[in-house]
Amino acid sequence: DNWHLMQNYFKLHSCCRFNHGTLDAIDVMAARAPLPAPEQVDHIQVTSYRYAAELSDQAPRNTLAAKFSVPFAVATRLVHGNSSMNSFNWDAVRNPQVLALARKVFVQEDPAMTLRLPMERPARVVMTLMDGSTLTGEAGVNRGDDASPYTRVELRGKFMDLTQRVWPAAHAEKVLDTTLGLGNTGAAVHEWASLLRRGPMRDGPV
């Protein structure tokens, strides 16, 4: 049997998937060398497929709009050093450094990249710095796709990042371990359900 559940797509970037190729390309750059400080950037050119190129708003007015903006996603990634939920909250949307950098990010379509859909969602990012030098990163298949999956460690990190907003770390760890053990160790479903019923930052279930 071919279980399609094993071909799921996981997000670590807390925004629209059409941003992910661009953010993956920046991650490629970051893996080579430290990224420049925002004030070192003169402008950034993003080239991607059609749907990504449409997300060109340089001044999103709320958190939802920010998640559907390539310029904002690039800017908040560079300012905050990540693309987690906190990089797209109200503090980030109102951050003058993020907004100033977003105005320096431009997005265009490459029809050849559009033709690579849906198997790939490519992007190329070229950063031009104040000294005239450039940095380039490219991505094809987005991380988190079944063709380029995240590691278990990365996915565990996402679970902990999200659940520690409502549960203490030790409880979140227990929920995760019990969930993963349901199919292998025969952990009792009622125990698992009891763990899920625990209220936010409380000592016992609700």
**pLDDT digits 0-9 by tens, 46-77:** 999 999 999 999 999 999 999 999 999 999 99
Distance separating alpha carbons of residues 45 and 71, to the nearest angstrom:
9
Decide if 17 contacts 142 (C-beta within 8 A). Answer: yes
Distance separating alpha carbons of residues 80 and 37, to the nearest angstrom:
10
Give residue limits of the domains in the chain: 4-139, 152-196
| Predicted local confidence at residue 206, as pLDDT | 36
- Percentage of the chain lying above the pLDDT 70 cut: 94
And the tokens for 41?
């950037």
**pLDDT digits 0-9 by tens, 165-178:** 899 999 999 999 99
Residue in 19, 15, 10 with CA at minimum distance from that of residue 121: 19
Distance of CA 97 to the CA centre of its chain: 20
At 138, give phi and psi (nearest 5°): -135, 150
Q: Tell me which CATH homologous superfamily contains domain 4-139.
A: 2-methylcitrate dehydratase PrpD (3.30.1330.120)
Is the pLDDT at 204 greater than 60? The verdict is: no
Is the pLDDT at 127 greater than 50? The verdict is: yes
And the tokens for 126?
């070229």
Grade residue 5 by pLDDT with cuts at 50, 70 and 90.
confident
| Predicted local confidence at residue 142, as pLDDT | 96
